[in-house]
A and B are shown apart, each in its own frame.
Chain A
Amino acid sequence: MHVPDGFLDAPTSVATGVVAAGTVALALQRARRELDERTAPLAGLTAAFVFAVQMVNFPVGAGTSGHLVGGALTAVLVGPWTAVLCMTVVLVVQAVLFADGGLTALGTNVTLLGLVAVGVGYGVFRLLLALLPRTRGGLLAAAGAGAFVSVPVAALVFVGLFAVGGVADVPLSAVAAAMGGIHVLIGIGEAVITVAVLAAVVSVRPDLVHGAAHLRRPSDLATRPGLRAEESLR
């Protein structure tokens, strides 16, 4: 869902640029509370992983593809403010080095994939975490639901931007139906990948996962295979 240059007019691109810059400035302050000696390396690795997985488009129905956004996954792994920074780095690298996503659309892409996908994905995750059992299964279900919802919501926010500043004069209902429909399907892939990756990380190093803090009791950790409790509590 990388928006190219040209889809949105200049005022809309400037506005999303301002929103993106403000969000990143806030994230630079707030992320300090999420990052310590152990979680900072995970944030770097997570950003690189998201870059890599975004290269792998999976087929979605007839003649269409999608790829992981990674906003929800990153937020659950390293915290939402750090996730904004990770997603922004990925989007800047893609736009500047790989011509993937427009340069004038960079603010739009940071807004959609950094702010909206992270915010919605993490918001749904936290909401369900409070409702679901405090188990590893509950954690994965909450993350999967957040990931699923984040993709069509980001797509619909694009439709909102297109309504305000779309260059082409096309029926908005058609844009909304196409964007919403296809991104519900892509959201399923988003949820599957998010749950698979999170399950793997939680099984090896639950102590590093931001969204798994509620599972971090000694009794939880002692039963994990491949992890010594005294090591993880350090």
Chain B
Amino acid sequence: MSRRRAPWLAGLLLTLVIAGFVSHHASSAPDGLEWAAGESGFADTARDSATADSPLADYAVSGVDDGRLSGGLAGVAGVAVTLVLAGGLTLVLRRRTGRPAADAAAAGPARD
């Protein structure tokens, strides 16, 4: 493993471990907004999302009964999708090496 690649692989591995394993140990207590909504009496105005029946809803893979496995798989899937979307978007937008920044900025939203 080259010295240049090691930090990237370590970062990716850490991200997958957090989403796949550490997430299982997250607190299941209501978050700040949920708590505040309950305290001040508007929690019951929340509506289910239109995606509430999605196969990954609430960070669980539907059909996988083991909670730890289900949550871990959902987390890894989310990391993969986020990495592809955000990484793809920023790769499309980036300046090409050797090309002055002014050119890239002047090109505006048009794709190269």
Q: Are B78's CB and A63's CB within 8 A?
A: no
* Interface of A, helix, strand, loop or mixed by DSSP: helix
Q: How large is the interface on B (under 10, 10 to 19, 20 to 34, 35 or more residues)?
A: 35 or more
* Interface of B, helix, strand, loop or mixed by DSSP: helix
In the bound complex, how far is the Cα of B25 from the Cα of A67, in angstroms? 13
* Chain A proximity mask over B88-112: 1 for CB below 8 Å, otherwise 0: 1111011111000100110111000
Chain A residue nearest in CB terms to B49? A99
Chain A residue nearest in CB terms to B77? A97
In the bound complex, how far is the Cα of B11 from the Cα of A98, in angstroms? 23
The residue that A32 contacts in the complex, of B35, B41, B49, B93, with Cβ under 8 A, is B93
The residue that A52 contacts in the complex, of B36, B39, B52, B79, with Cβ under 8 A, is B79
Q: Are A48's CB and B96's CB within 8 A?
A: no
Contacts of A175 in B (CB 8 A): 36, 40, 42
In the bound complex, how far is the Cα of B94 from the Cα of A66, in angstroms? 33
B63 in the interface (beta carbon within 8 A) = no
> What's the minimum C-beta distance from B21 to chain A, rounded to whole angstroms?
10
The residue that A167 contacts in the complex, of B45, B74, B78, B81, with Cβ under 8 A, is B45
> What's the minimum C-beta distance from B69 to chain A, rounded to whole angstroms?
15
> What's the minimum C-beta distance from A39 to chain B, rounded to whole angstroms?
7
Q: Are A183's CB and B51's CB within 8 A?
A: no
A90 in the interface (beta carbon within 8 A) = yes
- Name the interface residues of A40-63: CB closer than 8 Å to any CB of B: 40-41, 43-49, 51-53, 55-60, 63
B residues lining the A interface (CB < 8 Å): 3-4, 7-8, 11-12, 14-16, 18-19, 22-23, 25-33, 35-37, 39-42, 44-52, 54, 56-59, 74-75, 77-83, 85-91, 93-97, 101, 104-105, 107-109
